[in-house]
């Protein structure tokens, strides 16, 4: 027994044992420091993102957020979820989360496509586009019918830029959404700028079923305001280019091409 006690005492006093003990203490202290740092970072960013900031101040906050990296994430998530923060700060928090976490943040950010605020729906779309996310197709389709004109416009841009050609029929359907037109005080309803973008997007997505209807449209004078867009998209869809010259020359060209297209 006495021998065992002596051995135990020698072991405890041995430098190697002392080194292990010191190392374990250092690990514990490091973890504690990291927890404190994370807690302090969250408090700091929650306070800063609550402020009404000027553009230069937002740039400074953006830089600080990126410098803190993952330590800023808990605060960014809270800012996004809390309606008490300024819209432009919530917008930036969404972008910063995407920037810091990359594609890992996409699933969380996509949930904000159903947020009551158009600002957050818009921020979600733009961040998902920056992350090149192609798997949220059903959400993009829903966003094409969003009550906010700005959100519909961004959803269209996501689909076009990400080349989601299978969603082309939904893009084409935007031509029949009355909200994409406006009614002047006198005369018939007018096409908003989004209609031009829809026509071009249909071409970029190479939606062949739109070929025949568009050839008919380009023949009519009432579509003269979107003539260039129709000409552009027909070139994309058919792989043929109309000759340089007048609108009449181009119309005749597409009419001849149309005769060779089977109506779908």
Region of 130 (left: φ > 0; alpha: ψ -120 to 50; beta: rest) is alpha
Where residue 8 falls among pLDDT bands split at 50, 70, 90?
very low
Q: How many Å apart are CA 223 and CA 190, to the nearest integer?
A: 11
Across 227-238, average pLDDT = 98
The answer to whether residue 5 scores a pLDDT higher than 60 is no
Mean pLDDT of the chain: 89
Across 47-57, average pLDDT = 95
Phi and psi at residue 235, to the nearest 5°? -65, -45
Where residue 184 falls among pLDDT bands split at 50, 70, 90?
confident
Whole-number pLDDT of residue 16:
53
The answer to whether residue 61 scores a pLDDT higher than 50 is yes
Find the largest Cα–Cα distance for the chain: 112
If one counts every other C-beta atom within 10 angstroms of the C-beta of residue 190, the result is: 11
Where residue 153 falls among pLDDT bands split at 50, 70, 90?
very high
Q: How many Å apart are CA 253 and CA 245, to the nearest integer?
A: 11
The answer to whether residue 123 scores a pLDDT higher than 60 is yes
Across 90-99, average pLDDT = 98
Q: Where are the domains of the chain?
A: 44-133, 165-264
């Amino acid at each position: 027994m006495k021998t065992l006690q002596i051995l135990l005492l020698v072991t405890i006093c041995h430098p190697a044992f002392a080194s292990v003990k010191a190392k374990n203490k250092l690990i514990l202290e490091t973890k504690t420091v990291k927890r404190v740092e994370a807690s302090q970072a969250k408090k700091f960013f929650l306070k800063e993102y609550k402020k009404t900031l000027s553009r230069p101040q937002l740039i400074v906050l953006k830089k600080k957020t990126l410098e803190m990296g993952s330590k800023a994430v808990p605060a960014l998530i809270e800012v996004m979820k809390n309606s008490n923060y300024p819209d432009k700060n919530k917008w930036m928090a969404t972008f910063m989360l995407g920037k810091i976490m990359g594609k890992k943040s996409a699933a969380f950010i996509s949930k904000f496509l159903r947020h009551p605020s158009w600002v957050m729906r818009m921020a979600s779309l733009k961040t998902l586009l920056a992350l090149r996310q192609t798997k949220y197709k059903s959400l993009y389709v829903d966003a094409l019918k969003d009550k906010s004109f700005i959100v519909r416009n961004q959803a269209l841009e996501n689909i076009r830029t990400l080349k989601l050609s299978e969603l082309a029929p939904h893009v084409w359907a935007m031509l029949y959404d009355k909200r994409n037109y406006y009614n002047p005080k006198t005369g018939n309803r007018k096409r908003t700028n989004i209609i031009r973008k829809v026509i071009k997007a249909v071409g970029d997505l190479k939606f062949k079923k739109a070929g025949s209807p568009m050839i008919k449209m380009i023949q009519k004078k009432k579509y003269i305001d979107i003539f260039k867009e129709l000409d552009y998209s027909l070139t994309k869809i058919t792989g043929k280019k109309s000759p340089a010259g007048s609108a009449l020359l181009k119309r005749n060209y597409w009419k001849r091409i149309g005769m060779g297209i089977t109506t779908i």
